C-alpha cells in the first residue's frame, strides 16, 4: 500500500520509580514514536534515544530533527517502501542508528501487518515466551537495594542485573549474593564507568560467580576489554561497543567479549540485530536482548527478537509494570514461570491505545510522504 505520510509523536511516561545508572537518573521516559500511514493502514515504531546524549551521541530532539530534515525526505520518493529499502537508502547518512531503527521498525510493522505476518516469524523466532530478567538501578543504600531485589524475585524474575559504578560495586554485589544465595542468576552492568587501570578492583567481583560483567570500559576500547577479559574470571559482555555485526565479529576475534547484549536501536534496526545474532551464533557466543526503558511498542519488537534461537540468556525484556504504572500499549505481563510471552499478532503484535496516546502525548509532527 502507498505510504502517505509519517507522524512523529513525542510521549512522556512517568516511571514507577527513578532509574539511576552511571549516566544519570531518569524519572520520566521521554520517547519518540513514529506512525507510518498508508491509505488504509499504519505501522508503529519507537526511537529508543534518551533525552540527553549520555548513553550515546543520539538524543530525542536530535533524532526528531534528523528524521524530519533528512531521513524522511530521502525516503519520501518511494511510497512502496519496505524495511530493506529503509536500510539501503539511509546507508549514505552517517550515524544516527536509533533514528534509522525507529523508521525501519515502523515500516516493518506496516508491511508485516499487510501480509498478516508476525515480526517474530519474519525474524526467525522459535520461542513462544522468553525468560525475563530485571535491571536494578543504583540505589541510595544497600538495604534499599536488597528490598528492591527481594521484590523483583518475589514477582518471579529469573535474573537480576545490578547497575554499578565506582563506589557502588563490590559491596552491593556482596550484599545481594549473601542475602539471596549462590543460585541467584546475577550480573552487573557498568555502562562504561571504569578504565583498564581499575582491573584489580573489578577482579574483586570474581568470587561472586556472576553471569557476566557488562561494558565496564568505554565503547571504543576493544583492546582494553580484551586485556581486562584476560585478567577476570567473570565473563565479559559488550553492549555499547556492539554497533553492528562487523563490530561484533571484531570484538569476538579480539577476545574482547564472550557474550553480547543486542539492542536493535544501537545497531540501526532489527535487520542488523538479526545479523549480529547470526554472527554470534556462528562463533559460539551467547546473546541476550538489552533494554532502553521501551514503551510497549519497542518492548513488543524486542520480545520478537529475543525469541531467536541464540538468545540463550535472560534479557531485559521485563514486564511493563517494571517501569510504568500504565504503558502506552496493552501491558506485557510476567507469567508464573518468569517468562513474558512473545507477541504473535501481525507486525509487532501491539499498538498504542488511543486513550494512552492522548494522556501521554506532548507534541506531534506530520511529515507528508512524497
Q: Which of 262, 256, 243, 18 is nearest to 144 (CA)?
A: 18
pLDDT at position 101 is: 98
- Say which of 94, 100, 161, 163 is annotated catalytic: 163
Neighbours of 202 (CB within 10 A): 23
Q: Is 304 left (phi over 0), alpha (psi -120 to 50) or beta?
A: alpha
Mean pLDDT throughout 125-149? Answer: 97
pLDDT at position 79 is: 80
Write out pLDDT tens, residues 205-251: 999 999 999 999 999 999 999 999 999 999 999 999 999 999 999 99
Based on the residue annotation, tell me whether 163 is a catalytic residue of this protein: yes
pLDDT at position 324 is: 96
pLDDT at position 23 is: 79
Based on the residue annotation, tell me whether 161 is a catalytic residue of this protein: no
Write out pLDDT tens, residues 294-353: 999 999 999 999 999 999 999 999 999 999 999 999 999 999 999 999 999 999 999 999
pLDDT at position 98 is: 98
pLDDT at position 78 is: 80
Write out pLDDT tens, residues 23-66: 788 899 999 999 999 988 999 999 999 999 989 999 999 999 99
Mean pLDDT throughout 146-151? Answer: 97
Evaluate whether 317 touches 135 at the Cβ level (below 8 Å).
no
User: Would you state the torsion angle of the CA atoms of residues 217, 218, 221, 222, taken in this order, to the nearest 10 degrees?
Assistant: 60
Mean pLDDT throughout 264-285? Answer: 98
User: What distance lies between CA 147 and its chain's CA centroid?
Assistant: 25
pLDDT at position 76 is: 85
pLDDT at position 74 is: 94
* CATH class for the region spanning 120-341: alpha beta
Distance, CA of 290 to CA of 135 (rounded, Å): 10
Evaluate whether 106 touches 6 at the Cβ level (below 8 Å).
yes
Confidence category of residue 80, pLDDT binned at 50, 70, 90: confident
Confidence category of residue 77, pLDDT binned at 50, 70, 90: confident
Confidence category of residue 292, pLDDT binned at 50, 70, 90: very high
Phi, psi values for residue 206, rounded to 5°: -55, -40
Confidence category of residue 89, pLDDT binned at 50, 70, 90: very high
Confidence category of residue 354, pLDDT binned at 50, 70, 90: very high
Q: Please determine, for residue 370, whether its predicted confidence score (pLDDT) is greater than 80.
A: no
Q: Which of 291, 304, 294, 310 is nearest to 346 (CA)?
A: 304
Q: Please determine, for residue 84, whether its predicted confidence score (pLDDT) is greater than 80.
A: yes
Alpha-carbon separation of residue 143 from 21, 22, 187, 227 (angstroms): 18, 20, 19, 34
Topology of 3-116+352-368 in CATH?
Enolase-like; domain 1 (3.30.390)
Write out pLDDT tens, residues 248-270: 999 999 999 999 999 999 999 99
pLDDT at position 296 is: 97
Domain borders along the chain are 3-116+352-368, 120-341
Q: Please determine, for residue 195, whether its predicted confidence score (pLDDT) is greater than 90.
A: yes
Exposure class string for 160-199: b at 16+ Cβ within 10 A, else e: bbbbbbeebbbebbeebbeeeeeebebbbbbbbbbebebb
Mean pLDDT throughout 123-128? Answer: 98
- Say which of 94, 100, 161, 263 is annotated catalytic: 263
Distance, CA of 46 to CA of 33 (rounded, Å): 5
Amino acid at each position: 500500500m502507498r505510504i502517505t505520510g509519517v507522524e512523529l509523536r513525542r510521549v512522556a511516561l512517568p516511571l514507577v520509580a527513578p532509574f539511576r545508572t552511571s549516566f544519570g537518573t531518569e524519572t520520566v521516559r521521554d520517547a519518540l514514536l513514529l506512525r507510518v500511514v498508508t491509505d488504509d493502514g499504519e505501522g508503529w515504531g519507537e526511537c529508543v534515544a534518551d533525552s540527553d546524549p549520555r548513553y550515546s551521541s543520539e538524543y530525542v530532539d536530535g533524532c526528531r530533527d534528523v528524521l524530519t530534515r533528512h531521513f524522511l525526505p530521502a525516503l519520501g520518493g518511494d511510497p512502496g517502501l519496505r524495511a530493506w529499502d529503509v536500510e539501503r537508502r539511509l546507508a549514505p547518512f552517517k550515524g544516527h542508528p536509533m533514528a534509522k531503527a525507529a523508521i525501519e521498525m515502523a515500516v516493518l510493522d506496516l508491511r508485516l501487518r499487510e501480509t498478516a505476518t508476525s515480526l517474530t516469524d519474519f525474524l526467525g523466532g522459535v520461542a513462544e515466551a522468553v525468560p525475563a530478567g530485571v535491571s536494578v538501578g543504583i540505589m541510595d543504600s544497600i538495604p534499599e537495594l536488597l528490598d528492591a531485589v527481594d521484590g523483583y524475585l518475589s514477582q518471579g524474575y529469573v535474573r537480576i542485573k545490578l547497575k554499578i559504578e565506582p563506589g557502588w560495586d563490590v559491596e552491593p554485589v556482596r550484599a545481594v549474593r549473601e542475602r539471596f544465595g549462590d543460585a541467584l542468576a546475577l550480573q552487573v552492568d557498568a555502562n562504561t564507568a571504569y578504565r583498564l587501570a581499575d582491573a584489580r578492583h573489578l577482579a574483586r567481583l570474581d568470587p561472586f560467580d556472576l553471569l557476566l560483567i557488562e561494558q565496564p570500559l568505554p565503547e571504543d576500547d576493544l583492546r582494553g576489554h580484551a586485556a581486562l577479559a584476560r585478567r577476570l574470571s567473570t565473563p565479559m559482555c559488550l553492549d555499547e561497543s556492539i554497533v553492528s555485526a562487523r563490530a561484533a565479529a571484531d570484538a569476538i576475534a579480539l577476545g574482547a567479549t564472550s557474550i553480547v547484549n543486542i539492542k536493535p536501536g544501537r545497531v540501526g534496526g532489527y535487520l542488523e540485530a538479526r545479523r549480529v545474532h547470526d554472527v554470534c551464533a556462528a562463533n559460539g557466543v551467547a546473546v541476550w536482548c538489552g533494554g532502553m526503558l521501551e514503551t510497549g511498542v519497542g518492548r513488543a519488537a524486542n520480545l520478537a527478537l529475543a525469541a531467536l534461537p541464540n538468545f540463550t540468556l535472560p534479557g531485559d525484556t521485563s514486564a511493563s509494570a517494571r517501569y510504568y504504572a500504565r504503558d502506552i500499549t496493552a501491558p506485557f505481563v510476567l507469567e508464573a514461570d518468569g517468562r513474558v510471552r512473545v507477541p504473535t499478532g501481525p507486525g509487532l503484535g501491539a499498538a498504542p491505545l488511543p486513550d494512552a496516546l492522548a494522556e501521554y502525548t506532548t507534541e506531534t509532527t506530520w511529515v507528508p510522504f512524497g
